[in-house]
Chain A
Amino acid sequence: MEKPIHMEYLLNELANIKVRNERQRRMRLDVPSKELPAVLELLKGRAGFMHLSAISCVDWIDENQFELVYHLWSNQVSTLVSAHTRIERDPGVYLSVYDLYKPAAFWERDIHEMYGVFFEGSPDMEKFILTEWDGPPPMRKEFDSEAWVNDHFDWQNYRPDWLQEIEQEGGGIAILPDEQRFSRKAEE
């Protein structure tokens, strides 16, 4: 699909940005982290990208980077732009876009508690979902939730006394959870 004409003009003004038109009404921009707020401001002001659909964070642990993806929709040009930028995993600090988009407050707060990325200038970085969680940010790739579960919980007893009578009559659990195909024991 051809790009709408004024989008083309707009994108020509921006240096250092890779543009990919992946499929209909979808566009991917790769932006250096320093320029992203300026790009968003330009998109909002000149092409009507008023709607911030979401901000996603991807943890690329092998490259020691976080990728932040800003999904913007414009009714004016009927295109969803995904602006990608990468920041260093350590210390994991970035600028808030709250002054441009109000909904960013929710997504930045969410990313902060799930990944530990701090957004400077965001109105509220308090914990929201994980208020009673004192472990590491759980969505980071190095956090092993299965090990945490094994540390903190016991598994249900699948061979209780009352089941033995039923088992002698030929009933009972057909395949125990540990013996099932994708169980934690089978994968070891």
Chain B
Amino acid sequence: MKEFPVPVQTAEDPSVKKQSGNIFSNVFDELVRFAQSRSLFMLHYCTGCGAIELPPAMTSRFDMERLGIQPMVTPRQADILLITGYVSVKTLKRVILTYEQMNAPKYVIGICSCTVNGGMYWQSYATAKKLNDYMPVDLYIAGCMPRPEAVISGLRQLMEKIKIGEANSWQDYFKRYDYYLGNQQRLFGETWQTPTDIIGESKHYSLHTPETEGEHTRLLELHQRPLEPLEMRLGLSEKTEDR
């Protein structure tokens, strides 16, 4: 089967490979990647129609678990973010928050044609048109909607990519954060903020590049206001206070 590269620049950095020249660490890396590709926890954000084909893919007929892929309910413990269908602008904000909460390495799969180019909702004012403007996407599975076999085949391709160490698009978010943030600000307005400090994290992963910061991240600092602590007591009525 011919491997088609995905339309995302994974920004393969040769300098990273040179640093780990030690043969033992190479073997260790390979082992880690093998283990990673065999135990993937998947957070399926039910953004649209494609979610209806996931229960058949996960349950007894197509049985995704035999590949070592299991659904996971929290973003912090998940490896794969599965975007199942069109992403409305309101959902996109939540998807970005979810994505930033996930721990690296993390992989994004866009299911359905709508995540690729807007699909049949290309005229709609409410849906985002291409997902890879807002976050790096490892793999697209086209179809309206893709069958469970297609979903599983896509996941197997992702496993192969992880195994050979090519699924690195999550690094792209840290390396070119300014570009992604610019697209997000274009859609949500200049005051768009997320609670995650991506620039700090990029330094932590030593993925900080000149493109990480730019005019858009400066805008972030300009509008930054201290996050208000979550007020847990909301609108207590007088009756309950009396009690």
Contact = CB atoms under 8 A, between A and B. Distances in A.
A138 B5 CA distance: 39
Interface stretch (B115-123, B147-155, B214-222): B115-123
A132 B93 contact: yes
Interface in A148-166: 148-149, 152-157, 160, 162, 166
Given A146-B123, A149-B123, A162-B7, A154 B90 contact: no
B129 to A, nearest CB: 4
A98 to B, nearest CB: 23
Nearest to B187: A152
Given A152-B187, A156-B116, A135 B125 contact: yes
Given A131-B90, A160-B7, A177-B117, A154 B124 contact: no
Interface of B is mostly: loop
Contacts of B130: 153-156
Contacts of B123: 145-146, 149
Given A131-B90, A152-B186, A162 B4 contact: yes
Interface in B189-210: none
Nearest to A151: B186
B128 interface: yes
Nearest to A162: B5
B133 interface: yes
In the A-B complex, the 4 residue pairs with the smallest Cβ-Cβ separation, listed nearest first, are A156-B117, A145-B125, A153-B129, A162-B5
Interface of A: 131-133, 135, 138, 143, 145-146, 148-149, 152-157, 160, 162, 166, 177
Given A156-B116, A156-B118, A162-B4, 15 more contacts: A132-B90, A138-B126, A143-B125, A149-B122, A149-B123, A149-B129, A153-B129, A153-B133, A155-B130, A156-B129, A156-B130, A157-B7, A160-B7, A162-B7, A177-B117
21 contacts: A131-B90, A132-B93, A133-B89, A145-B125, A149-B123, A149-B129, A153-B129, A153-B130, A153-B133, A153-B187, A154-B130, A155-B117, A155-B129, A155-B130, A156-B116, A156-B130, A157-B7, A160-B7, A162-B4, A162-B7, A166-B4
Interface of B: 4-5, 7, 89-90, 93, 116-118, 122-126, 128-130, 133, 186-187
